């Protein structure tokens, strides 16, 4: 008999059971060594975000990232992390053309080692979400500030301010949920709206600049570690400050998220931008 020890990977069912007891902690990650560090620290979910275009590849947006890039980093992460649920981000241009090309690209990412794919967008993506879920691919939506639409938004700006925009975002969340998505990232959205989406949908909601009421939270790993230069969005917290190691910083983030201590009011957005 083999003495090989086997860590079972978390399932969506496990995540729902955990979420009934505490908040879920998610981080982005792009390589095997950090994936092993996050796994040992107890992270629940790892996202191979297309943020890799900015923090790994040095681009000024996520738009240049390809399916091959995300598949490569997903395979690296999957080799390093045994327990966390792994989500691969579908990059710009890989899913917007319709359900069939989206499905084919999602298969590449699932075969690289993810258990779910994430796509940006709302009601306009419902048919694509439904097509993928019905064919065995769990989907995480992403609404609010969707960075692949930076050129439409005119910058990385808070989304969902004002009654019309808020109603559209709520309808988007419902449409993606009704199409079969199990999870939803809500990014840079006024706190009251994000809270409403978290409370009024059955989705596992993951906030980033959203609300502490979400089922869980995500940060870009480099932001958590204070790596990089330039102005940081409001939702970023450098957990390495005051910690004596990367491991300690990651563990503090996980503990703070799980206990509902992060995000604080200083990390979320008000309904109006103020004077």
Just list the catalytic residues: 187
Using the 8-state DSSP alphabet, how is residue 29 labeled? -
Residue 21 vs 86, nearer CB to ligand KIV:
86
Residue 100 vs 181, nearer CB to ligand KIV:
181
Using the 8-state DSSP alphabet, how is residue 87 labeled? E
Q: Which residues bind ligand KIV (CB under 6 A)?
A: 28, 47, 49-51, 89, 185, 187, 208, 218, 220
What sign does the dihedral 107-112-114-115 (CA atoms) show?
Answer: positive
Task: Provide the minimum distance between the beta carbon of 244 and ligand KIV in the complex, in angstroms, as a whole number.
Answer: 26
Look up tokens 């699932």; give the residue.
110
What sign does the dihedral 193-141-122-53 (CA atoms) show?
Answer: positive
Residue 6 vs 113, nearer CB to ligand KIV:
113
What is the Cα–Cα distance from 123 to 125, expressed in whole angstroms? 5
Supply the DSSP string of 106-161, one letter for each residue: HHHHHHHT-SEEEEEBSGGGHHHHHHHHHTT--EEEEEES-GGGHHHHTSS-----
Which pair of tokens denotes residue 173?
């969340």
Residue 99 vs 216, nearer CB to ligand KIV:
216
Which pair of tokens denotes residue 165?
């925009």
């Amino acid at each position: 008999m083999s003495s090989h020890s086997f860590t079972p990977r978390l399932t969506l069912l496990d995540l729902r059971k955990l979420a009934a007891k505490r908040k879920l902690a998610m981080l982005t990650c792009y390589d095997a060594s950090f994936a092993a560090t996050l796994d040992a620290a107890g992270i629940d979910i790892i996202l191979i975000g297309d943020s890799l275009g900015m923090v790994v590849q040095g681009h000024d947006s996520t738009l240049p990232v390809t399916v091959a890039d995300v598949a490569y980093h997903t395979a690296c992460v999957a080799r390093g992390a045994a327990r966390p649920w792994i989500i691969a981000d579908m990059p710009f241009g890989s899913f917007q053309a319709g359900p069939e090309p989206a499905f084919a690209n999602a298969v590449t990412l699932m075969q690289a080692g993810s258990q779910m794919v994430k796509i940006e967008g709302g009601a306009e993506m419902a048919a694509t979400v439904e097509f993928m879920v019905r064919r065995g691919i769990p989907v995480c939506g992403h609404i609010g500030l969707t960075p692949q639409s930076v050129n439409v938004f005119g910058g990385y700006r808070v989304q969902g301010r004002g009654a019309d925009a808020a109603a559209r975002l709520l309808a988007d969340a419902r449409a993606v949920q009704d199409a079969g998505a199990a999870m939803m990232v809500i990014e840079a959205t006024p706190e009251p709206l994000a809270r409403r989406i978290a409370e009024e949908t059955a989705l596992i909601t993951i906030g980033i600049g959203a609300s502490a009421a979400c089922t869980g939270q995500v940060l870009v790993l480099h932001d958590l570690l204070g790596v990089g230069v330039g102005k940081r969005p409001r939702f970023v917290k450098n957990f390495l400050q005051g910690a004596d190691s990367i491991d300690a910083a990651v563990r503090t983030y996980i503990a703070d998220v799980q206990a509902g201590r992060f995000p604080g009011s200083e990390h979320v957005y008000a309904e109006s931008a103020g004077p």
